[in-house]
């Protein structure tokens, strides 16, 4: 499946055919991983098929909360880290910059599944958007997934106000985390600070992701307020958060970068038509 060529045109029919092939990759992986008789070589091959997918193909596997969490519960920490990295289209250089690591240290992080020195485990969690134990420990404690303490370390995330968010994108080289101190002015159900991330690693679009504790009321007032804060935004979704309860919600404010790419249309199509528990909104 290749959607990145700007000379191609997007076809919903072909997208569905290719999408079904991606789901079959997952089903094959899950069958092998669930089998008591599977060979290590078979599981390694199934993992490599998943890791060989493009970021926009991995977005397909992320559309199912249950499916993605199953992938990220793989017993291999190396696989979990690589899968999270590929899904965000992160390069090793991005990780070197974000974690202030040498090239060799980043290689150890993935090849040997080492635990980096503090506060890098929290920084890695924010970068990969998964619970910190899940991307740092071979045997993470699932009871730790419900909270997100990593954002509240001063060395990990930046405290910021709503009015500063849009201009902040110029300071982001890949992915950055934030604690939004006045989020209640936009999301009135939120009683305290809200966390979020700028994600700028895709060539198709950038997005700011708000992490909410309640289902937001997306009415005309909220849409106008969000557009005022992010004047270049064209789309917004409300969606689930992996490894969080269903009442924990996420808002993505999407700013297009290259709308000529078939992968841009494909990613929007995926978010709009297939992603579980997701509402898609268009600004203009």
pLDDT tops 80 at residue 4: no
CB neighbourhood size of 185 (10 A): 13
What pLDDT, in 10s, does the model give residues 56-72? 999 999 999 999 999 99
Tell me the pLDDT tens digit for each residue of 202-240.
999 999 999 999 999 999 999 999 999 999 999 999 999
Element (H, E) at 127: helix 120-128
What is the CA angle 106-109-115, rounded to 5? 130
Six-digit token string for 227: 């557009």
Query: Is-above-0.75 flag for pTM?
Result: yes
Sequence-ordered list of residues with C-beta below 8 angstroms from that of 78, at least 6 positions apart, any chain: 110, 111, 113
Query: What is the predicted pLDDT for the residue at 163?
Result: 98
Q: 21, exposed or middle or buried, with CB in 10 Å at 0-12, 13-18, 19+? A: exposed
pLDDT number for residue 284: 73
Domain boundaries, the chain: 12-139, 151-282
- DSSP label of 62: H
262 pLDDT band, cuts 50/70/90, is very high
Around Cβ 41, how many Cβ atoms within 10 Å?
8
Please say if the pLDDT value at position 179 is more than 80.
yes
**pLDDT of the residue at 169:** 98
pLDDT given for residue 1 in this prediction: 45
Mean pLDDT for 177-198 is 96
CA dist 16 and 89 (Å) reads 23
Q: Alpha-carbon distance 268 to 256, whole Å?
A: 10
């Amino acid at each position: 499946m290749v959607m990145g060529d700007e000379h191609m045109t997007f076809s919903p029919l072909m997208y569905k055919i290719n999408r079904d092939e991606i789901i079959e990759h997952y089903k094959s992986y899950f069958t092998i991983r669930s089998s008591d008789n599977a060979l290590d070589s078979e599981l390694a091959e199934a993992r490599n098929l998943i890791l060989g997918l493009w970021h926009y193909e991995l977005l397909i596997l992320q559309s199912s909360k249950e499916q993605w969490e199953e992938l990220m519960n793989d017993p291999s920490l190396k696989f979990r880290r690589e899968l999270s990295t590929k899904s965000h289209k992160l390069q090793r250089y991005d990780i070197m910059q974000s974690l202030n690591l040498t090239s060799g240290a980043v290689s150890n992080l993935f090849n040997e599944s080492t635990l980096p020195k503090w506060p890098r485990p929290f920084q890695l969690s924010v970068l990969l958007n998964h619970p910190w134990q899940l991307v740092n420990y071979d045997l993470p404690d699932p009871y730790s997934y419900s909270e997100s303490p990593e954002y509240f370390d001063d060395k990990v995330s930046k405290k910021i106000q709503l009015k500063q968010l849009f201009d902040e994108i110029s300071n982001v080289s890949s992915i950055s985390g934030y604690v939004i101190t006045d989020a209640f002015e936009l999301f009135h159900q939120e009683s305290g600070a809200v966390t979020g991330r700028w994600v700028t690693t895709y060539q198709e679009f950038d997005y700011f992701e708000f992490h909410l504790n309640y289902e937001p009321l997306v009415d005309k007032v909220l849409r106008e307020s969000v557009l005022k804060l992010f004047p270049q935004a064209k789309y917004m979704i409300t969606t689930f958060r992996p490894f969080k309860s269903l009442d924990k919600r996420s808002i993505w404010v999407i700013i297009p970068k290259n709308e000529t790419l078939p992968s841009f249309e494909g990613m929007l199509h995926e978010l709009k038509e297939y992603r579980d528990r997701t509402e898609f909104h268009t600004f203009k």
